[in-house]
């Protein structure tokens, strides 16, 4: 089968967000449980829920990571696709691709720490597990950086998306994605809490737009 780079990019853009939302947004919450107390990630609750759920907690964390990596790689490839010299917004596409690579490292490191915490917890090393869990959850630091970089990488790619849009729907999707990323960046930068429902709506909205762009890209539209 001859799989072009454009089609591979599109498949990752479609499968990544769907998998992340299904695994981390639905299954992990339903099976393992939420790790937040008053809107703040709690390391003790993270380890307690994981211990109660058993090995499925680590499995879901790993599968969720793979889908998230697929989404980010899709973003990097899509940005590179839009970075042809002389095209509108090509420089911003290159910046988006570079930030995507940084994001890959940050997400992998953070999730690896979480998985290591689960492993130490299973071995009865509670203090060590708690220390790693606290770093993984970041107390707003690690994940704050991840979401800021995510918003920047996705936000920058909307510039060439809009500038190179060949149809009205592509341009509208670009504007919608840009608006969602600006909102995400501002809330993370200022440490604002919009409430769980609003945050889920932003997450789901951004995922749907990204998937729609992937579908159009796959069809070559």
Residue 163 structure tokens: 């500038």
User: Could you list the residue range(s) of the whole structural domain that residue 54 is in?
Assistant: 5-216
pLDDT of residue 25: 84
221 assigned to some structural domain: no
pLDDT of residue 220: 81
pLDDT of residue 140: 45
102 assigned to some structural domain: yes
3-state secondary structure string across the chain: CCCCHHHHHHHHHHHHHHHHHHHHHHHHHHHCCCCEECCEECHHHHHHHHHHHCHHHHHHHHHHHHHHHHHHHHHHHHHHHCCCCCCCCHHHHHHHHHHHHHHHHHHHHHHHHHHHHHHHHHCCCHHHHHHHHHHHHHHHCHHHHHHHHHHHHHHHHHHHHHHCCCCHHHHHHHHHHHHHHHHHHHHHHHCCCCCHHHHHHHHHHHHHHHHHHHHHHHCCC
pLDDT of residue 132: 66
Q: What is the dihedral of CA 122, 127, 133, 136, to 10 degrees?
A: -120
182 assigned to some structural domain: yes
Q: Domain count of the chain?
A: 1
144 assigned to some structural domain: yes
172 assigned to some structural domain: yes
pTM of the model: 0.85
60 assigned to some structural domain: yes
Per-residue pLDDT of the chain (221 residues; tens, 9 = 90+): 457 889 999 999 999 999 999 998 888 887 876 666 555 566 666 666 666 666 787 788 889 889 999 999 999 999 999 998 778 889 999 999 999 999 998 888 877 777 777 777 666 677 767 776 666 666 444 456 888 899 999 999 999 999 998 889 999 999 999 999 999 898 888 877 777 778 888 889 999 999 999 999 998 86
């Amino acid at each position: 089968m001859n799989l072009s780079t454009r089609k591979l990019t599109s498949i990752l853009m479609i499968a990544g967000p769907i998998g992340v939302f299904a695994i981390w947004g639905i299954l992990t919450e339903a099976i393992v449980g939420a790790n937040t107390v008053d809107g703040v990630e709690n390391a003790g609750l993270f380890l307690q829920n994981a211990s109660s759920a058993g090995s499925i907690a680590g499995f879901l964390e790993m599968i969720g990571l793979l889908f998230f990596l697929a989404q980010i790689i899709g973003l990097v490839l899509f940005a590179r696709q839009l970075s042809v010299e002389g095209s509108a917004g090509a420089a911003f596409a290159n910046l988006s691709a570079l930030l995507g690579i940084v994001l890959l490292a940050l997400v992998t490191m953070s999730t690896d720490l979480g998985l290591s915490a689960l492993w130490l917890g299973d071995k009865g090393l509670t203090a060590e597990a708690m220390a790693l869990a606290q770093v993984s959850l970041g107390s707003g630091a690690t994940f704050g950086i991840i979401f800021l970089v995510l918003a920047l990488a996705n936000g920058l790619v909307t510039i060439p998306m809009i500038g190179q849009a060949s149809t009205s729907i592509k341009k509208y999707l670009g504007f919608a994605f840009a608006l969602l990323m600006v909102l995400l960046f501002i809330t993370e930068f200022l440490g604002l809490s919009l409430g769980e429902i609003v945050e889920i709506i932003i997450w789901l909205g951004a995922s749907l737009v990204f998937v729609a762009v992937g579908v159009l890209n796959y069809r070559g539209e």
